């Protein structure tokens, strides 16, 4: 429901209209970023919460007999304006923040949590939901309606609807504190990332670094009014520095700075935040009758329980760890042959691995980057969406943007029907969190029988263009683009009825299937040939380079698998504690990751204190889902490999059964409808080269 805007009366002074509370009179009702000021957010949130509470109250106190439409569907639609404001604010708080915005977030988050609690803990509302749920067998619901009913029922139970008195009061307090701590964790991590620079003034210290990397560092220094070269902890600077810099002591300095973020005992330290968050999550779960927070989370995931996740992680570790140890041994031997004295350390790994990769496959990112100009990659990715799903992208400039770097596109299908707006924000800046992600300013749903199309946003941290070169991506950045674009397709192609079931509103361990399957095309000559040309000469990427990419695809796949598994294991360790942990964060983490370790520990380094996925994002007790979805995507892509990577029938089936369905049915039902059977781990082991026995 929209917020009531009072008519303007003549001859009276009226306060400035808040653009967040007005109807968006923009193309496709996109957010009016050009009109929104920071001062608009708090009053907008305040009014939208009041309006949303009225809508909830009207549902709860209705004199009509509770049924699916007047209770479940009405709840799904309630608070629409509040949801729109929240999407705008919190997306910008990640992509284009400021100190003032972070302060507003800390003020607003408890109010939003209280609003959420007031829904789940409203006894009259819960009684209506319960009545509908108990009568579900007589309601003749569609599969999507049934899913919405089941999910709403679970949300009430997990939101504390059955709690009474002191327990309910404590649940509210915990929820509010957790919302603030998650924000604090992210703010600290961003401050720590921005707080370190490596200022190089001696050209000799640049030895080994590619021209594009040093040029970007010179540009960064110039922007800060400094001479020489500036290297930062943002990915486009940090990753190539560790991979190419010959100066070992500088690699060590960069590594230690990155690995100790949030663990410096300063104002941005995250150790106490982690202790508080894990203790509060545990208490929240135990209030609801679960032994651990992981049990609470996994009760509505494909994996279903802690035992399944731990067995899954162990199964993959058993397959990958022997390879990881052999790969470590190989790099160590190679490094010693090439002048390394003493033990191979973590800051040596990327450097010597890259040199070994060059020696084995004559392949290096710097060879490939000229063929991966960002504009061409975008053409290739859009072209793939056209080939598979008939999508067309039209860049438009009449849609307001939140930053000058953002580009906006209208997306149409083959019949020229409007599908979505796509925002793309490519480059790093100090106001943007690290990593890459897809989000929405509005999700797809139906309202008054009208199909409301989504406003989807992709946020990246890719290498910026310089004075002499366009933005040239690494192969990893190409796969990152494909990955996030897969999430975007999930949002843009959605054909659901309800807000709660549309697009990426699916189980966390299913949401990575549409994204990870897209990465497979990066290894396919048939696709690369359609767009990958040298940015200066226009020549196609040579066949031998494509062969090398494919040959090198499983280079150190054991080590890479172990690394991902270590993240999943430390996540599960933090969320399977059954009493609050008050000891050393590093000691806890070291023990959790021990089964995957191949390196000696590094003083003051701590992965957990920068692990935004689980302490600042939504992946707590869910990081395993990346590997879980790899099983799904390897199995699903095997159909494309068998039928043809652009096969229209396979693409149509994937679109109709997976991408359009969102969370409207159980993910395994959807997957089997596409695949014809449950997924097997074998396809992943085969693709990763971890199935067949070979010596390295």
| Residue 5: other Cβ atoms inside 10 A | 11
Where helices occur in 96-164 by DSSP H, the ranges are: 99-120, 123-134, 143-158
Residue 659 contacts residue 494 (beta carbons within 8 Å): yes
Residue 50 contacts residue 112 (beta carbons within 8 Å): no
Nearest to 568 by CA among 620, 606, 618, 615: 620
| Residue 277: other Cβ atoms inside 10 A | 23
Nearest to 645 by CA among 550, 490, 483, 521: 521
DSSP 227-273: SSEEEESSHHHHHHHHHH---HHHHHHHHHHHHTTT-SSSTT--HHH
Nearest to 393 by CA among 421, 426, 427, 374: 421
CA 36, CA 501: separation in Å to the nearest integer?
Answer: 29
Query: Is-catalytic flag, 484?
Result: yes
- Residue 35, classified by CB atoms within 10 Å of its CB into exposed (0-12), middle (13-18) or buried (19+), is middle
Residue 8 is given by DSSP the state P
Task: Please report where in the chains the tokens 């683009």 appear, as a residue.
Answer: 481
User: Helix, strand, or coil here: 422?
Assistant: strand
Phi, psi of 53, deg, nearest 5: -60, -35
User: Helix, strand, or coil here: 399?
Assistant: coil
| Residue 690: other Cβ atoms inside 10 A | 22
* CA distances to 61, 552, 622, 660 from 481, in Å: 48, 20, 22, 21
Both structure tokens of 314 = 């162990």
Both structure tokens of 279 = 């203790």
Both structure tokens of 495 = 């054909």
CA 145, CA 170: separation in Å to the nearest integer?
Answer: 33
Q: Tell me which H or E stretch contains 199.
A: strand 197-200
DSSP 441-496: EE--EEETTEEEPPEEEEE--PPPP-SS---B--HHHHHHHHHHHHHHHHHHT---
Residue 604 contacts residue 260 (beta carbons within 8 Å): yes
Nearest to 120 by CA among 159, 83, 74: 159
Residue 546 contacts residue 528 (beta carbons within 8 Å): yes
Nearest to 508 by CA among 479, 487, 493: 487
* CA distances to 20, 99, 102, 183, 371 from 94, in Å: 19, 12, 10, 10, 31
| Candidates 440, 484, 524, 630; catalytic one | 484
User: Helix, strand, or coil here: 111?
Assistant: helix
Task: List active site positions.
Answer: 484
């Amino acid at each position: 429901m929209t917020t009531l805007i009072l008519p303007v009366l003549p001859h009276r002074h009226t306060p400035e209209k808040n653009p967040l509370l007005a109807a968006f009179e923009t193309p496709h009702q996109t957010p009016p970023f050009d009109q929104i000021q920071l001062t608009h957010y708090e009053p907008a949130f305040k009014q939208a919460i009041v309006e949303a509470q009225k809508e909830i109250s009207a549902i709860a106190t209705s004199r009509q007999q509770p049924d699916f439409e007047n209770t479940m569907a009405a709840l799904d639609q309630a608070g629409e304006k509040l949801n729109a404001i929240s999407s705008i604010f919190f997306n910008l708080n990640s992509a284009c923040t400021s100190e003032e915005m972070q302060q507003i977030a800390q003020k607003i988050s408890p109010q939003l949590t209280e609003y959420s609690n007031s829904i789940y803990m409203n006894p009259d509302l819960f009684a209506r939901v319960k009545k509908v749920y108990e009568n579900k067998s007589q309601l003749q619901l569609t599969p999507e309606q049934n899913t919405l009913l089941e999910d709403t029922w679970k949300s009430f139970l997990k939101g504390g609807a059955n709690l009474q008195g002191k327990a309910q009061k404590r649940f509210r307090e915990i929820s509010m504190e957790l919302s603030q701590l998650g924000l604090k964790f992210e703010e600290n991590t961003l401050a720590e990332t921005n707080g370190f620079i490596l200022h190089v003034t001696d050209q000799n210290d640049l030895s080994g670094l590619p021209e594009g990397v040093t040029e970007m560092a010179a540009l960064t220094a110039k922007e800060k009014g400094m001479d020489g070269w500036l290297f930062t902890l943002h990915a486009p600077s940090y990753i190539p520095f560790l991979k190419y810099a010959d100066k070992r002591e500088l690699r060590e300095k960069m590594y230690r700075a990155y690995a100790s973020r949030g663990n410096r005992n300063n104002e941005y330290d995250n150790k106490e935040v982690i202790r508080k968050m894990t203790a509060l999550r545990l208490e929240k779960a135990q209030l609801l009758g679960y032994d651990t927070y992981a049990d609470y989370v996994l009760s509505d995931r494909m994996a279903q329980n802690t035992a399944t996740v731990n067995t899954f992680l162990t199964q993959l570790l058993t397959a990958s760890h022997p390879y990881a140890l052999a790969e470590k041994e190989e790099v160590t031997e190679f490094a010693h042959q090439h002048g390394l004295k003493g033990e191979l350390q973590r800051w040596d790994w990327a450097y010597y691995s890259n040199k070994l990769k060059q020696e084995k496959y004559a392949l290096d990112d710097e060879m490939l980057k000229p063929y991966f100009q960002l504009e061409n990659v975008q053409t290739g990715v859009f072209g793939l969406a056209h080939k598979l799903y008939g999508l067309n992208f039209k860049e438009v400039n009449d849609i307001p943007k939140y930053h000058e770097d953002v580009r906006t596109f209208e997306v149409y299908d083959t019949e020229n029907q409007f599908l979505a707006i796509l925002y793309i924000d490519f480059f790093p800046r100090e106001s943007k969190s690290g990593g890459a992600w897809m989000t929405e300013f509005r999700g797809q749903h139906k309202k008054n029988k009208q199909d409301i199309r989504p406003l989807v946003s992709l946020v990246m941290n890719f290498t910026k263009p310089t004075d002499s070169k366009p933005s040239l991506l690494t192969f990893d950045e190409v796969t990152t683009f494909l990955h996030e674009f897969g999430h975007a397709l999930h949002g843009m192609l959605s054909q659901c009825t309800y807000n709660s079931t549309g697009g990426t509103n699916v189980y966390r361990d299913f949401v990575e299937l549409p994204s990870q399957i897209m990465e497979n095309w990066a290894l396919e000559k048939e696709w690369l040939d359609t767009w990958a040309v040298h940015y200066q000469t226009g020549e196609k990427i040579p066949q031998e380079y494509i062969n090398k990419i494919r040959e090198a695809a499983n280079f150190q796949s054991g080590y890479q698998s172990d690394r991902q598994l270590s993240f999943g294991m430390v996540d599960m360790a933090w969320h399977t504690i059954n009493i609050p942990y008050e000891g050393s964060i590093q000691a806890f983490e070291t023990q959790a990751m021990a089964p995957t370790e191949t390196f000696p520990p590094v003083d003051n380094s701590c992965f957990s204190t920068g692990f935004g996925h689980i302490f600042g994002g939504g992946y707590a007790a869910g990081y395993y889902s990346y590997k879980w979805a790899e099983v799904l995507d390897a199995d699903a892509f095997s159909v494309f490999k068998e039928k043809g990577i652009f096969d229209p029938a396979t693409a149509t089936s994937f679109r109709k059964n997976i991408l359009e369905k969102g969370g409207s049915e159980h993910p395994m039902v959807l997957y089997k409808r596409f695949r014809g059977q449950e997924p097997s781990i074998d396809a992943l082991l085969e693709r990763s080269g971890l199935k067949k026995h070979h010596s390295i």
